[in-house]
Amino acid sequence: MSDKGQISDRNTSPPELEQVLKQLTGGTLCPCNRALINFLENSPDPVLLFDGNPELIGRNERAVELWDGVENFIPPRLLKEVAKVESSGESFHEEKKDRLIAIEASNGRRYFLPTVFPLIDAPAEPENGKNESIIACVLKDETIWERSERIRRNLLSSISHELNTPLTSARLALYLLAEQQIGELNSNQQELVERAKQDLDREIVTIQNVLDMIRAEDDLSGTGDTEVFNLHELIEEAINDFESQIRGLALPITRDYASSSPQIEMERETAELVMHQLFVSILKYTGDDAELRIVTSSDDDECSVELTTINGDQEDFPPEDLFSVELASERARRLRCADLGLRVAHEMIAPLGGALSSERFAKSGKLRLRFPHASSITR
Amino acid sequence: MNTPTNHSDPRSETALDVLFIDDSPNLCRAMELWLKTSGYSARIALNAAAAEEIASRETPRLVIADIGLPDASGYDLRQRLKEIPGMADTHFIALSGQRDRSVPRHSIEAGFDTFISKPPDFEELASILEECIPHRPGAA
């Protein structure tokens, strides 16, 4: 049917494309394709055209400007999306700015939100076995947004570091003076130091609240992409991640996995983070001669995992009131990282309908994590 | 803070108690004063390279390291120090002013035993020191 060599790989002018489209469609263009040709002509965004293989077969003038003389500039992720559109026939539009596609251009790296759609559907039975579909990819340039976002994040990180380090040395200096560790103070000096310490503590709380608010705003802008995955795989991945610590403790692990294959549907990163916190906490409290027992269960309503350490000394296991501690409280600040991490994990999973709990027994401690929206698929 | 000497520690009584690493000279000096007046032998380092040099000579019992150092991350430093002979039992505390939730997690995953936010509660820090290095009066 067509000779794709007619579409220049360097540039695809609208008249040239129109001619090829006419050949492909038997001489007539549907209104939709006419509109697309107009769009290509007027688009300020770079547009790439792919065949069904998918290989680049053309681009508009903006795309030529950006990738003039650049070889193999199309990243595998974009090619994968093009292939998916080609096989499904359904358009793809990336809306989330945290999933920008980076492409090296002749003037440096640029960031895009792609929209991929079939321009011409492949015939059900292609002639000569050739796939004649054409896929268009419009790349919305978000480079300026990406740069400003990167600067904003770096600035926040730097502000946090730059504020907290001098606050620490000022607080320590006042602490040393107030405790009279480096010499005695008279009553006036003591009063001034105490007042300065109180003011600094108030300042610290205000600054931490502002930084926490900014951080919370960043946390809320997560991808929101959920996926279905297997609970047992998640546990085994966590065991692999902590392999060296488990080996270091010579910790035997017994698994009592549910016979069904428990499936979880949520953001994978959140699930991994929560599972990591469970292991961090369990490993912290695991003593000599202990063993770790992992039990999973699942039914239509629930999908959960229990991690139990069995040994004779559980005095320091996470406190029973851990999950009621206010995160901003003095008590929370005093909690060690593993405990606070567990509390944070609880905060992350509770709004999704899950729950994390801790129990202490005479010779063992148990952490139980119930995942949200569970279902069970029998093997 | 007058706990008896830890007789199970195989290291010499003259070994360094605490190595503190931070790129702020002011914080280093204040921390050095505090540690020494609290009875600990202490050394300070302003970067990872200096920390490695001190650690390889003096095998500290406890290391407190900032995560954001000028010549390496605290995570990398933790790995490098752990490989120094005699430091397998050293307790590592990560200290960071960054409020990002991932920093404590990465610290623990990198092998730090404890994570503390800046500015820390010094009474809490004192109790951790006391647990790790049972006090030796007059060690300063």
pLDDT of residue B35: 93
State the DSSP string of A22-38. Answer: HHHTTT---HHHHHHHH
Residue of B nearest to A162 (CA): B97
**Same domain, yes or no, for A306 and A373?**
yes
End position of a domain, from candidates A122, A141, A160: A141
Q: What is the pLDDT of residues A12-54, one digit of tens each?
A: 555 666 666 666 666 666 666 677 677 676 778 898 888 888 8
- CA A69 vs. chain centroid, Å, equals 34
pLDDT of residue A377: 33
**Residue range B18-132, CATH number:** 3.40.50.2300
pLDDT of residue B2: 33
Of A166, A182, A204, the CB nearest to B33: A182
Query: Within 13 A of B70's CA, how many CA atoms are on the CB side?
Result: 10
Q: What is the pLDDT of residues B46-56, one digit of tens each?
A: 999 999 999 99
pLDDT of residue A3: 42
Least confident range of A31-35, A72-76, A191-195, B40-44: A31-35
CATH number (domain holding residue A45): 3.30.450.20
pLDDT of A158 over the 60 cut: yes
**Shortest CA gap A279–chain B (Å):** 10
The single-letter code of the amino acid at A260 is: S
Q: Which of A120, A100, A146 is closest to A51 using CA atoms?
A: A120
**Strand pairing report for B91-96 and B62-66:** parallel
Answer whether A172 touches B (CB < 8 Å): yes
Tell me which residues of chain B have a C-beta less than 8 Å from any C-beta of chain A.
Answer: 22, 24, 26-27, 29-31, 33-34, 37-38, 66, 68, 96-101, 104-105, 107-109, 114-122, 124
Q: Which residues of B touch A181 (CB under 8 A)?
A: 33-34, 37-38
Structural contact between residues B124 and A335, judged by C-beta atoms closer than 8 angstroms: no
pLDDT of A286 over the 80 cut: no
End position of a domain, from candidates A115, A141, A167: A141
- Structural domain including A30 reads 4-141
pLDDT of residue B61: 92
**Same domain, yes or no, for A153 and A67?**
no
Quote ipTM for the complex: 0.71
Cβ contacts from A onto B, under 8 A = 97
pLDDT of B27 over the 80 cut: yes
**Same domain, yes or no, for A50 and A108?**
yes
Of B26, B108, B124, the CB nearest to A166: B26
Number of CB atoms found within 10 A of residue A163's CB: 20
**Same domain, yes or no, for A133 and A185?**
no
The CA distance from A153 to A159, in Å, is: 10
**Same domain, yes or no, for A90 and A43?**
yes
pLDDT of residue A265: 81
**Same domain, yes or no, for A190 and A279?**
no
Counting the structural domains of chain A, the total is 3
Structural contact between residues A368 and A306, judged by C-beta atoms closer than 8 angstroms: yes
